[in-house]
Amino acid sequence: MDLIANLSTGFSVALAPINLVFVTAGVIIGTLIGALPGIGPVAGLSILIPLAFGMDPTGAMILMCGVYYGCMYGGTITSVLLNVPGESSSLMTCLDGYQMAQQGRAGPALTIAAIGSFIAGTFSVVMLTLLAPPLAEAALSFGPPEYFALMLLGLSAITGLTGRSRAKGYAMGFIGLAMATIGLDPLGGVPRFSFGHLELLDGIGFLPIAVGMFGLGTVLAMVDAPADIKIMKTTLREMVITRQDMKESAMPIVRGTIIGFAVGVLPGAGATISTFLAYAAEKRLSKTPEKFGTGTIAGVAAPESANNASTGGAMIPLLTLGIPGSGTTAVLLGVLTLFSLQPGPLLFTKNPEFVWGLIASMYIGNVMLLVLNIAFVPAFVSVLKIPYRILAPLIAIFCLVGVYSVNNSLLDLWLMFTFGLIGYLANKLAYPLAPLVLALVLGGYMEVSLRQSLKMAQGDLSVFFTRPIAAVIMVIAIAIILWPLFAKLFSRSPQAGKLPVSAEEI
């Protein structure tokens, strides 16, 4: 496949005026969502799903992806200026970023973060451009056993997303699988878990559940405690960075990018973890580790690059293989499914304008974000002044009208409402939502692949291990699933094998 030809197709799609509007809107919305504490990318994307539903698929994904990587830029703003992370992947930036702001160096912090984010984001899109086609081509030879193994690999990500209580994470995963099972059995027409209700025969919609759990759930969490953001007066006169700043940030940006990209590609580890690892690596490699936490620019450059690099990385398995590795990419996968666009090798052959248009617009989006985050920070800061008292009900009614607009279905609205409550309670009780979404989105395909594989092999389970690619993927997936057990057996610490995650892991 000719790379140049693909990219030119892509750019001709991405540069179409309507798609330029979408990418602009997406990155602006993403920056705002990233900056606003209390709403993360998963919530933001979920709230937008009904919009996407009414749009052309290419434009919709350009918008949604713009929101996705835009969030990584936006989170820096409140981290640096207010010591409040806009979302979990900007947590590490608070450590040194806020200190720099206290020293009157908020401007350089934000600028370096923007530059690092741009370099990292663009690098990861370049890697996506280079790695996706060969990977998609290799995946063309995949059959049901390989797909089952891949879905299992995707689901194995759940073990990384469980947070402190593994039992809770698994419970959510299984519940997600159960929800995926509701409706008519795809291979037999037998109703399952419908309890006699006709409306459930088509399964329960991903859209009202996602909007409810993440959108409404977030709204409820917003109103349960007064949380107006106190914007302190900060001067942003100097967004200018010194040569010293650039020298000190260069390698951290490089290292952060590589770490972020690698972590992003892996299922189960998302932007948040990449920032922890990048920060820790910088501190370890630094000649002055004691300065970390007091306002070193490396402490800002590294995590900010990492979280952006992870977005492009996460898009690779999503687009080429259909495996989402985190809650956010699971929502993106859900959206693709709503459009009947099955990600994977067929996406590249059947819908090249869509895929390459999306990839091309990611380059454009990153450029826009670089400009926005250096030149327009005061504008974003002023949006943060909108009190939650107005924002929360606005989002709530937006969700309601959004879900209504899709199907005019009262059932959908009640589903959204119920899952809003469930999402709120789940957050309070520390039940991670990402495993549920992942299982809901992947469960159906996984079951179909399993049954088709065994039908092909006439019940012989070894089919998963005699085909080389399936075997390799199965081994990796099983290793990931069993890893926590090994870690626990060989270590005394009760937290062994558990990665630090927030309730909303991205």
Partner 1 sequence: MEKAEAAAGILILIIGAVLLIAAYPLPYMVESVPGPGFLPLWVSLGIIASGAAVTVSAVRGRLRPGEPIPWPDLPGWRQVGVMLVALALALVLFDDLGFVITTTAFMTIVIFSLGVRSWVTLITAPIAAAAILYAVFALWLGVPLPQGILTFMG
Min CB(9)–partner 1 separation in Å: 27
Nearest to 94 by CA among 102, 107, 104, 84: 84
Please name every residue paired with 183 in a beta bridge, in sequence order, or none if there are none: 192
Could you tell me the CA-to-CA distances from 499 to 96, 145, 318, 483 in Å, in that order? 22, 30, 22, 12
Distance, in Å, from the CA atom of 208 to the CA atom of 47, rounded to the nearest integer, reads 10
Does 213 participate in binding partner 1 (rule CB under 8 A)? no
Could you tell me the CA-to-CA distances from 247 to 75, 89, 116, 234, 358 in Å, in that order? 24, 25, 13, 26, 34
Distance, in Å, from the CA atom of 32 to the CA atom of 251, rounded to the nearest integer, reads 29
Could you say which of 401, 472, 475, 482 contacts partner 1 (CB under 8 A)?
401
Does 18 participate in binding partner 1 (rule CB under 8 A)? no
- What mask, x for binding partner 1 by CB under 8 A, covers residues 270 to 309? ----------------------------------------
Min CB(303)–partner 1 separation in Å: 26
Which residues ranging from 407 to 446 are in contact with partner 1 (CB under 8 A)? 410, 413-414, 417, 420-421, 424-425, 428-431, 443
Does 126 participate in binding partner 1 (rule CB under 8 A)? no
Does 402 participate in binding partner 1 (rule CB under 8 A)? yes
Could you tell me the CA-to-CA distances from 235 to 124, 228, 381, 442, 448 in Å, in that order? 33, 21, 12, 47, 57
Could you say which of 1, 141, 197, 224 contacts partner 1 (CB under 8 A)?
224
The CB density around residue 451, as the number of other CB atoms within 10 Å, is 16
Could you tell me the CA-to-CA distances from 36 to 95, 97, 411 in Å, in that order? 18, 17, 31
Residue whose entry in the numeric block shows the structure tokens 């937006």: 398
Per-residue HEC secondary structure of 286-334 comes to CCCHHHCCCCCCHHHHHHHHHHHHHHHHHHHHHHHHCCCCCHHHHHHHH
Min CB(417)–partner 1 separation in Å: 6
Could you say which of 197, 247, 350, 455 contacts partner 1 (CB under 8 A)?
455
Applying CB under 8 A, which part among 11-19, 93-101, 344-352, 384-392 lies near partner 1?
384-392
- The half-sphere exposure of 470 on its side-chain side, counting CA atoms within 13 A, is 19
Distance, in Å, from the CA atom of 500 to the CA atom of 497, rounded to the nearest integer, reads 10
Closest CB to partner 1 among residues 397, 475: 397
Please name every residue paired with 180 in a beta bridge, in sequence order, or none if there are none: none
Closest CB to partner 1 among residues 192, 291: 192
Nearest to 71 by CA among 110, 39, 111, 115: 39
Does 397 participate in binding partner 1 (rule CB under 8 A)? yes
Could you say which of 103, 405, 466, 495 contacts partner 1 (CB under 8 A)?
405
Does 220 participate in binding partner 1 (rule CB under 8 A)? yes
Min CB(414)–partner 1 separation in Å: 7
Please name every residue paired with 184 in a beta bridge, in sequence order, or none if there are none: 191
Which residues ranging from 35 to 94 are in contact with partner 1 (CB under 8 A)? 51, 54-55
Q: What type of residue is 381? A: V
Applying CB under 8 A, which part among 78-86, 184-192, 275-283, 320-328 lies near partner 1?
184-192
Contacts of 315 (CB under 8 A, 6+ apart): 65, 124, 128, 329, 362
Could you say which of 15, 131, 248, 404 contacts partner 1 (CB under 8 A)?
404
Closest CB to partner 1 among residues 47, 332: 47
Applying CB under 8 A, which part among 134-142, 191-199, 269-277, 470-478 lies near partner 1?
191-199
Q: Is-contact 327 41, C-beta < 8 A?
A: no
- The alpha carbon dihedral of 190, 196, 199, 204 has a sign of negative
Q: Kindly determine how many residues on this chain lie close enough to bind partner 1 according to the rule CB under 8 A.
A: 62
Could you say which of 72, 84, 209, 216 contacts partner 1 (CB under 8 A)?
216
Min CB(506)–partner 1 separation in Å: 20
Could you say which of 225, 243, 290, 340 contacts partner 1 (CB under 8 A)?
225
Applying CB under 8 A, which part among 67-75, 183-191, 287-295, 471-479 lies near partner 1?
183-191
The CB density around residue 458, as the number of other CB atoms within 10 Å, is 7
Closest CB to partner 1 among residues 64, 120: 64
3-state helix, strand, coil in the chain (%, to 5): 75, 0, 25
- What mask, x for binding partner 1 by CB under 8 A, covers residues 458 to 477? xx------------------
Could you say which of 2, 4, 17, 167 contacts partner 1 (CB under 8 A)?
167
Counted residue by residue, the chain has a size of 506
What are the helix (H) ranges across 140-232?
A: 144-156, 166-181, 206-210, 217-223
Does 21 participate in binding partner 1 (rule CB under 8 A)? no
Phi-psi region of 194 (alpha: psi -120 to 50; beta: other; left: phi over 0): alpha
Applying CB under 8 A, which part among 216-224, 306-314, 473-481, 484-492 lies near partner 1?
216-224
Closest CB to partner 1 among residues 13, 413: 413
Distance, in Å, from the CA atom of 438 to the CA atom of 203, rounded to the nearest integer, reads 16
Residues that bind partner 1 (CB under 8 A): 51, 54-55, 165, 167-168, 170-171, 173-175, 177-178, 181, 185, 187-188, 190, 192-193, 195, 216, 219-220, 223-226, 387, 389-390, 392-394, 396-398, 400-402, 404-405, 410, 413-414, 417, 420-421, 424-425, 428-431, 443, 447, 450-451, 454-455, 458-459
